[in-house]
Amino acid sequence: MKIKRQKQAKKTISFYKYNFSFREPFQILIDGTFCQAALKNKIQIKEQMPKYLMGEVQLCTTNCALKELETLGKQLYGAKIILQRFQVRKCPHFKNPVPASECLLSMLEDTNPHHYFVATQDHAVTTGLKKIPGVPLLYIILNTIVLDKPSQTSLDHVQAVQLGELVSPAQQQSIRSLKEEQGISLKDGERRGKKRKRKQSNPNPLSCLKKKKKGVPTPPLKKTEQGEKRKRSRHKKRKTEGGDNMSAPTVTNT
């Protein structure tokens, strides 16, 4: 079982390395629920994590996650002691702490640019992070740490990149740095802003069409009559054309 688990982890890690540019030391964003589960199952996170991920790791958390544990009181004192030992990453809620689940998800932004692994037992966080491509999830089950298989969102993202529908994060970064070198990025942003404003001010072209149709409600019958007349004349023309065609094949046959 242990070997199988390790093999699966290796496969998953190389998926993130190859498709989402994950590199050592792996950044592991941890919350109180994971520490609590580790404590219950007697798992030494600092020891086990690098072994399981087969590489250097950096264990970190946020101020909000620590604050939440403090407010929850004595039952989570042990978890708090563990979490305190990890690096505290800056989050945007310095003055007004938010729930840990909300904070962790905000750290991932839209594309997980800092390549965080997330270690949590919190259902709100796991469901949230599965909507973001390229976020490895670690959780504790049956006394062991488990690296979850890539989410469907991650798999779909990779497939879209392979089909050329999307630019991979690595490519995006290189494009961005190229633009910055040439000083294009700022101008580009301004242009985009102007374009969006124009689009909003334009009236909907479909609404214009409807108004014209409403303006001429009465003469639809006459129109159809005219149409029929036209059709009749077309038929006559076709007949004459047909006559020409009848004579044509005799020419080709000879």
60 interacts with Zn ion by CB under 5 A: no
Measured from the CB atom, is 100 or 161 closer to Zn ion? 100
Tokens of 69: 């544990």
State in angstroms the smallest separation of the CB of 45 from Zn ion. Answer: 21
For position 91 contacting Zn ion by CB under 5 A, the verdict is yes
Q: Does 103 bind Zn ion (CB under 5 A)?
A: yes
Does 93 engage in binding with Zn ion (CB under 5 A)? Answer: yes
Q: Does 66 participate in binding Zn ion (rule CB under 5 A)? A: no
**Which residue, 132 or 147, is less far from Zn ion as judged by CB?**
132
Identify the H or E element spanning 205: helix 205-215
Longest CA pairwise span in the chain (Å): 106
Of 67 and 130, the one with the shorter C-beta distance to Zn ion is 67
Nearest to 144 by CA among 27, 24, 4, 5: 5
Q: In terms of DSSP H, where are the helices of 98-184?
A: 100-108, 123-129, 152-162, 169-182
- Decide if residue 108 touches Zn ion (CB under 5 A): no
64 lies in the binding site for Zn ion (CB under 5 A)? yes
* Cβ neighbours of 128 (radius 10 Å): 19
Contact 158, 19 (CB under 8 A): yes
Query: How many of the chain's residues bind Zn ion (CB under 5 A)?
Result: 5
CA distance 27 to 56: 9
Indicate the residue among 52 and 68 with the shorter CB distance to Zn ion: 68
Q: Which residues would be at the binding site for Zn ion (CB under 5 A)? A: 62, 64, 91, 93, 103
